Structure 1
Amino acid sequence: MSDSSSTAALVTILREELARLVPGDRLPSSRELITRHGVSPVTVSRAIAQLAAEGAVVTRPGSGTYVAPRRSRPGADAPDTSWQAVALPGRDAALDLGEPPARPLPEGIVDLAGGYLHPDLQPARLLGAALARAARRPDAWDRAPAAGLSPLRAVFARQAGASVEPDDVLVTGGGQGALSMLFRALTTPGSPVLFESPTYPGALAAARAAGLRPVPVPMDGDGLRPELLADAFAMTGARVLYCQPTFHNPTGVVLAPERRRQIVDVARAAGAFLIEDDFARHLGHGFGPVPRPLVADDRDGTVVHVTSLTKPASPSLRIGAVIARGPVTRRLRGMRRVDDFFVSRPLQEAALELLSGPGWDRHVRALTTTLRDRAAVLTDALARDCADWLVEQQVSGGLHLWLRLPDRLDPTATVDAARERGVAIDPGHRYFPAEPDGPYVRVGFAAAASAEELREGAKRLGEVGGLS
């Protein structure tokens, strides 16, 4: 049989197999197809190429071949949604978080890009038990108060500091939803908002989706620079600053003690709100006490505090809190009634069960040790295999390392090449409100399956660096 007829026969067989699969399913590997159908590697390659050209499959180098999304057949009955291009306002780019790796990643990919704990590090047993106990409560499915369950608000208040009262707390559906609400509540569309540079891409997206204009304020190894912050307020007239004073994402920096008071004072002098994103409070590595939240020492309502349980527990525990004082509190509660009335009561009850039991403290202590060890493993492996990739900050908490690449490496090309070799990392440009001032990538040590995977990931990155 000629190569062309062998290819046509294999294409026919694969089309029949594709009809039984669903979009996203993985086809057998080339080696399996060669063995199963008794054809040559060239025949398999040509058959896959033909199906890809037809749009029936999608090939991902280093990962495999997958069933492509189904396409509507052209014809009179086909839906036509082209009118929406005219009807929708042109702000889709504001909602773009970049191109983080899909979840879950294909088998064999070492995940150094994930922003959550690997399932083995999550307190699954505690979460299951907490949810089961919560579901058995007689009022578990009743409507929850708009501000959140009083006992849960008391827990968040206690964690924030002695000056915070439960009435200052609004329970939210995670940290991202809280940021979206705050950017809409604290200023008006078209206004400037100050951001540390670099910063969390989700916060940038939330601000842009609210019609706001992010303005970068540079950082150094001690965090946000107060003198530049004062200049930025004066030059822009901004009335909101977003910052992450503790275990900053992506750099891991902790705002220096002498600066913590200074930036609050600068914001107050400007008549501005300071949004304190405290997502990483439970992600310290045990090198010393975690600094008090800025809100703990602020009684004038300058600081609006955001916290969440998703990072130290599970991405599906969508429970967080906003702590605010003054008229803004009434505005936020009013927005809650407009947006979604209240956060799911069973989830709030489960969070309360989780935080109130002794198992939570044991989990946080164990997580502290694990994250410290993983950070050390990845740092050492990168020093060995990627010697000229500079770790900008020796982290004392959080989930990531911030790396400056040598000038010979383009960050986007490096990320793509890493993916082809089976390791996922994040491109640094996503973390800058304006143009980045250097070639950066973010690598994480919490989403990989093990320390061995971290070492393997660093080894593969070393192979990428050696290709330039």
Structure 2
Amino acid sequence: MFHRSSSQELADLLAREIEVLPAGARITTHRELVRRFGVSATTVSQALAVLTQQGLITSRPGAGAYRTAARPVARTGDTSWQQAALELSHHIGSAGTPRSFRAPALLHTLLPSGPDVVDLNGGYLHPDLQPLRALGTALARAARRAEAWDRPPVGGLPELCDWFAADVGGGLGRHDVLVCGAGQGALATALRALAQPGDPVVVESPTYPGTIAAARSAGLRMIPVPLDAEGIRADYLDQALTRTGARVAVVQPLFQNPTGASLSADRRRDVLAVARAHGAFVVEDDFARHMAHPDAGPVPPPLVADDPDGTVVHIRSLTKVTSPNLRVGAIAARGPVSARLRAAHVIDSMFVPAPLQHTALEVVTAPGWRRALAALGSALAHRREVATGAVEATFGPRALALRPRGGYHLWVSLPDHLDGGELASAALAHGVALTPGENYSPAGGGTRHVRLSYVAAASASDVDNAVRRLAGLVSET
């Protein structure tokens, strides 16, 4: 059995097996590879990502990975010199924190599941939850517009900027909004614009893997600050900003990923007051704004709506509530920082393609947009109830410290004898894809948690059956 942890070694071994297969042949499932080689699900994910980049395989969501058509490939020489050339941490005279482009936890969230695996890992809506008819109609209408093929303004279509400004609220105008390529791109742009390599940045602990990856790629030093049921701790935030001199903090104020916590009214005021006192920016990742459930009650406005002084840089996206392919989002900010963000965005990507922007505008201005959001909220609430019942039956009544009434995930505490990474690997071997808690740790290391997403599976009953299937693994000592 293969016991080495190197994803590159595993990729090399699999490449030799795959090269002899005919085009279109289905590759062994992710689940079987974990079982066969005795490695973690993350290691397999990284190896498959390497093979995809090499053009050996292609992934089809819900169906698995397949051998690509064979094509002539120029002989590769000795590329071993690149390892030293790419090393960023030992330059003579270098200063600060080296940038890192390893993002295994983020790649794990994009891992396609085969037909024999129930996906409780993914963060995008299953096609049955997506507004596919509305998206198709919007795309067709946008494609017929002659202006859809003109170069758009750098900051985004004025009408789309207007819509985002009104949706965010707080008296923002179109000139305060920058249309960007969804939430992850906005987050990466904001961190590079607001901080220099080597600077400290405060992040929640645990936090979204995309935040960790964006901070590392920008060469920033992450300063973890804990959360409780009311969100990030303002007292610890104050201490972190005082101790490190950080001028940027990243928070998810609503239905935080992975814990599901939302900032209380008092905590919102305290966080903003602490940031203002230190002259620090708060990057507000408002990813779940349109994923509130019907029983959530009044959802508080974004932090930026209560911030006339420009402390908050607000991020939101349409991707989570539509399709992973509608990669359109916005950054909203007041003051001189807007010019910095706009310049960083131009350097990163020039502009978001006009056909995509026009499609997004058609979607959000259609008569059925609000109805679609309401229907999604009801579907999410139903899945949440099913998932919560299955988790409590399988992991025990104390497994959920929070039962968020929004978002799409649960943060499950494990018994003392279980490790999140080990459980995720064992679960995959039993046909269930979970996310290990270690993927959300800014400092690295294991944690006795797993995150359970209930939006990527085909149905609520699939979620229920998959969670209950884990009972035997949970009871093992």
Q: TM-score band (shorter)?
A: 0.7 to 0.9
Alignment of 1:17-416 (within 5 A): 19-22=21-24, 24-25=26-27, 77-90=75-88, 93-98=100-105, 100=108, 103-287=111-295, 288-387=297-396, 390-416=399-425
Counterpart contact for 1:72–1:78, Cα < 8 Å:
no
Map Cα deviations across residues 32-69 of structure 1 (whole Å, 9 max, x no partner): xxxxxxxxxxxxxxxxxxxxxxx9x99xxxx9998789
Residue of 443, 448, 456 corresponding to 1:434:
443
Q: Equivalents in 1 of 2:281, 2:470: separation in Å? A: 41
Aligned-residue offset at 1:299: 0.9
The residue type paired with residue 413 of structure 1 is: E
Map Cα deviations across residues 197-250 of structure 1 (whole Å, 9 max, x no partner): 111110111011000011011111111111111111000100000000011000
Moved more, 434-443 or 252-261: 434-443
Identify the residue that residue 41 of structure 2 maps to in structure 1. Answer: none
Aligned-residue offset at 1:16: 12
Q: Which structure 2 residue ranges, 5 or more long, are not aligned? A: 1-16, 33-50, 89-97
Aligned-residue offset at 1:113: 0.5
Alignment of 1:449-464 (within 5 A): 449-464=458-473
SS of 1:446 mapped into structure 2: coil
Aligned-residue offset at 1:277: 0.3
Counterpart contact for 2:234–2:267, Cα < 8 Å:
yes
Counterpart contact for 1:26–1:64, Cα < 8 Å:
no
The verdict on how the C-alpha distance between 1:101 and 1:333 changes in structure 2, with shifts beyond 3 A counting, is: closer
Q: Which has the larger radius of gyration?
A: 1
TM-score normalized with structure 1 length:
0.84
Map Cα deviations across residues 149-194 of structure 1 (whole Å, 9 max, x no partner): 0000011000111421111000001110111111110011001000
Q: Equivalents in 1 of 2:108, 2:332: separation in Å? A: 30
The residue type paired with residue 372 of structure 1 is: A
Counterpart contact for 1:385–1:461, Cα < 8 Å:
yes
Map Cα deviations across residues 355-408 of structure 1 (whole Å, 9 max, x no partner): 001211111000010001100001001212232661121111001000110101
Q: Equivalents in 2 of 1:386, 1:418: separation in Å? A: 14
Counterpart contact for 1:427–1:440, Cα < 8 Å:
yes
SS of 1:376 mapped into structure 2: helix
Counterpart contact for 1:389–1:403, Cα < 8 Å:
no
Q: Equivalents in 1 of 2:305, 2:465: separation in Å? A: 42
SS of 2:314 mapped into structure 1: strand
TM superposition outliers: structure 1 runs of 4+ over 6 Å: 63-73
Q: Equivalents in 2 of 1:24, 1:228: separation in Å? A: 50
Q: Equivalents in 2 of 1:70, 1:436: separation in Å? A: 40
Aligned length: 422
The verdict on how the C-alpha distance between 1:97 and 1:79 changes in structure 2, with shifts beyond 3 A counting, is: same
Counterpart contact for 1:401–1:444, Cα < 8 Å:
yes
Counterpart contact for 1:260–1:294, Cα < 8 Å:
yes
The verdict on how the C-alpha distance between 1:406 and 1:72 changes in structure 2, with shifts beyond 3 A counting, is: farther
SS of 1:95 mapped into structure 2: coil
Map Cα deviations across residues 314-342 of structure 1 (whole Å, 9 max, x no partner): 11100000001111111122223222221
Counterpart contact for 2:408–2:453, Cα < 8 Å:
yes
Map Cα deviations across residues 117-159 of structure 1 (whole Å, 9 max, x no partner): 1110001110110011111112110000000000000110001
Aligned-residue offset at 1:70: 11
Q: Percent identity?
A: 47
Q: Which structure 1 residue ranges, 5 or more long, are not aligned? A: 1-14, 31-54
Matched, 1:445 2:443: no
Q: Equivalents in 1 of 2:467, 2:273: separation in Å? A: 42
SS of 1:152 mapped into structure 2: helix
The verdict on how the C-alpha distance between 1:344 and 1:64 changes in structure 2, with shifts beyond 3 A counting, is: closer
The verdict on how the C-alpha distance between 1:66 and 1:268 changes in structure 2, with shifts beyond 3 A counting, is: closer
Q: Equivalents in 2 of 1:17, 1:126: separation in Å? A: 41
TM-score normalized with structure 2 length:
0.83
The residue type paired with residue 404 of structure 2 is: V
The residue type paired with residue 21 of structure 1 is: A
Map Cα deviations across residues 295-330 of structure 1 (whole Å, 9 max, x no partner): 011111100000001101111100000001111111
The verdict on how the C-alpha distance between 1:165 and 1:128 changes in structure 2, with shifts beyond 3 A counting, is: same
Aligned-residue offset at 1:433: 1.3
Identify the residue that residue 3 of structure 1 maps to in structure 2. Answer: none
